[in-house]
Amino acid sequence: MTRRKLNGYLDHLRENLEILDEGIANARKMVKAGKNADSRTALQWTKTVRDLVELRGTNLTNIKMHLLGRDETGAAKEPPGIYGHNDQIEFERYFKNQVSAWTQDDLKLQCEDCGIKSEAVSNRCFSHPYPKPDEYYDLCGKCFDKRVTKSNRESKDWGVGEPASKGEVRAMIRGAAQIIKILRTLPIDQRIAKLEELLANKPEVAPGMEPACDAYRGVLQKELDNAKRLM
Ligand SMILES: [Zn+2]
């Protein structure tokens, strides 16, 4: 077996792994050969295989720790979702990716919607009001815009189902009446200016709250019309 020049801690661990693999393969051969000879030799080699496999596991763990680092409790930090199915295979894949040379292609992500592979694709977050968790997708610019448009439409549809209650409308009108009460203490020209200012300010209205907001503005508008007549 030809060996590359050793290069750092990780490469030493990789070499350990290769040596262990050879050792395990040899020991397995000896187990087979021993079975034909006598059972004590076979048993001895079986124990050797077990020890080597255990050592290999420890070696893999060391590589894993080195690649991933540890958290404050000393446990290896594992990227979420990587070791969900088959720990060893997933880990070795990840390890192989780490030691293989990077190419320009590695910088390209695949869009989850249209499937295009490009550097323009990035992981985008869609945040939702509590308690719905945020969602993350790898998307190109076009598909991102599409999803944003779609989710805006859906949140509007969602809002339609919750119109302002009568109580909310009454509260808004009461609020307007209180403002008017205060404004009536002002000279008429200042009162008109203040009312015009309030009406010019059109805040974004929560879906379903439009009737309450319209009622509120209606009250202020009526007061403004009256004040103008008094001028
Ligand atoms: Zn796309």
At residue 137, the 3 state secondary structure works out as: strand
Q: Percentage of residues in the chain with pLDDT exceeding 90?
A: 14
Residue 83 Cα, ligand 1 centroid: separation in angstroms? 28
**What does the pLDDT read at residue 162?**
61
Q: Do the beta carbons of residue 221 and residue 178 sit within 8 Å?
A: no
Looking at the structure, do residues 93 and 18 belong to the same domain, yes or no? yes
Same domain, 155 and 171: no
Listed residues 55, 76, 99: the one ending a domain: 99
Residue 2 lies in a domain: no
Same domain for 110 and 74? no
205 or 225, greater pLDDT: 225
Is the same domain home to 83 and 114?
Answer: no
Q: 60: domain range?
A: 8-99
Report the separation in Å between the CA atom of 145 and the middle of ligand 1, taken as the mean of its atom positions.
10
E strand or H helix that includes residue 2:
none
pLDDT tens digits for 7-57?
677 788 888 888 999 999 998 888 888 777 677 788 888 888 999 999 999
79 and 110 together in one domain: no
Q: Does 40 lie in the same domain as 118?
A: no
1 falls within a domain: no
For residue 71, give every residue at least 6 positions away whose Cβ sits within 8 Å of its Cβ, in sequence order, or none.
Answer: 77
Tokens read off for 86: 């088959």
Question: What's the gap in Å between 164 CA and the centre of ligand 1?
Answer: 38
Query: Does residue 206 register a pLDDT over 80?
Result: no
| pLDDT higher than 60, residue 168 | yes
Number of domains in the chain: 3
Domain boundary among 51, 72, 99: 99
Same domain, 12 and 92: yes
124 CA from centroid of ligand 1 (Å) = 12
Question: Is the same domain home to 71 and 30?
Answer: yes
Residues 109 and 89 in one domain: no
* Any domain includes 56: yes
pLDDT-based confidence at residue 114 (cuts at 50, 70, 90) = very high
Pair (121, 40) in one structural domain? no
Span from the CA of 121 to the centroid of ligand 1 (angstroms): 8
Task: State in Å: Cα 125 to ligand 1 middle.
Answer: 15
Q: pTM value? A: 0.32
Distance 82 CA to ligand 1 centre (A): 24
Domain assignment of residue 21, yes or no: yes
Residue with tokens 């509590």: 130
* Helix, strand, or coil (residue 123): strand
**Which contacts of 178-184 are long-range, i.e. CB under 8 A and separated by 24 or more positions?**
179/220, 180/219, 180/220, 180/223, 183/223
Q: Are both 222 and 170 inside the same structural domain?
A: yes
Q: Could you say which of 99, 129, 144 is where a domain stops?
A: 99
Categorize the per-residue pLDDT at 1 as very low, low, confident or very high, splitting at 50, 70 and 90.
very low
In a domain, 128, yes or no: yes
128 CA from centroid of ligand 1 (Å): 21
In the reported structure, the alpha carbon of residue 81 is separated from the centroid of ligand 1 by a whole-number distance in angstroms of 23
Residue 3 lies in a domain: no
